[in-house]
Amino acid sequence: MRHLPQAAAVAASALAVSCTAAAVPALAAPATEYVALGDSYASGVGTRDYFPDSGDCKRGPKAYPQLWADEHGAAKFSFDACSGAVTDDVNSGQLGSLSDSTTLVTISVGGNDVGFSKTMESCLLGSDDACDKAVAAGEDKARGELPAKLDTTYANIRKAAPNAKVVVLGYPRINDLGDCGIPGYSATKRKRINEGADALDEVISGRAEAAGFTFADPRQVFDGHGVCSDQEWINGPSNPLTESFHPNVDGHAKGYLAVLDQATGHSSATIRR
């Protein structure tokens, strides 16, 4: 699924104009061929705005991959992330756009492999003890099963895109620990879910480093903007339910985009609080 940003056309027009003007020659920046892979945190679930032709994958114009492609005028952009994806889905259905000419790949995956949705359901509807057990089960999967799955996925990406910079984006801590108006969503539960996110990011960052990829950690940027904060960048319980506990428009534009800008060397992007 490709959504070539308008900025590419603008850049082409600007180049044509510059060629007719008497100016000091400058080195042209290399064209970026960008492929975005991963799950709902990459596709844009939570922003409530999706490309009609993306179907159940729910890829949207306000998701950080599309924002980055638009902001930096990617010469070619393939948006292949899909809501609900696990590592097996990436390997079987998202790698077809990668090639020797791909220069940038982003991926966020692993949350669904360790049972993200079921864990959040248990924590929202169950007791503190039930939440603790659900998070612990996810941590066990993260440490026991996920490393091999990530190693396979990352190796397949490198094989298909041998010349690309690969940025692995982690997951934010979902919750703020202050006062919260969500019935039954105790501070104990919120703290335990955040600990689970830390455990997951620890595994993902380790495997990304082992693969020679860049790990982009969103946790510090999102701190103070989780569920139950005054300025939420992550949705709380929502209608429809699929929007719940995913970054909203601000989470992508002010959080993930800023983190990706830094990881790709565009540190001039402003991280807004």
Domain with 44 in it: what CATH number? 3.40.50.1110
Q: Are 59 and 50 in contact (CB under 8 A)?
A: yes
pLDDT of residue 173: 98
In Å, how far are 42, 81, 203, 222 from 57, measured between CA atoms?
Answer: 10, 7, 25, 24
Judge whether residue 34 has pLDDT over 90. yes
Q: Give CA–CA dist 43/50, Å, rounded.
A: 9
Residue 198's identity, in one-letter code, is D
Which range of residues forms the domain containing residue 231?
6-113+145-172+197-263
118 belongs to a structural domain: no
187 belongs to a structural domain: no
pLDDT of residue 27: 35
185 belongs to a structural domain: no
Q: What is the pLDDT of residues 218-259, one digit of tens each?
A: 999 999 999 999 999 999 999 999 999 999 999 999 999 999
Query: Would you say the pTM of this structure is higher than 0.95?
Result: no
Q: How many CA atoms lie within 13 A of 139 on its CB side?
A: 15
- Averaged pLDDT for residues 73-99: 98
- Whether the CA torsion 235, 239, 244, 249 is positive or negative: it is negative
53 belongs to a structural domain: yes
253 belongs to a structural domain: yes
Q: In total, how many domains does the chain have?
A: 1
| Candidate list 3, 40, 54, 108, residue with the active-site label | 40
For residue 266, indicate whether it is catalytic.
no
| Candidate list 72, 225, 246, 252, residue with the active-site label | 246
Q: Give CA–CA dist 64/197, Å, rounded.
A: 20
139 belongs to a structural domain: no
Judge whether residue 114 has pLDDT over 50. yes
pLDDT of residue 5: 45
102 belongs to a structural domain: yes
- Averaged pLDDT for residues 127-140: 98
221 belongs to a structural domain: yes
For residue 252, indicate whether it is catalytic.
no
Higher pLDDT, 162 or 5: 162
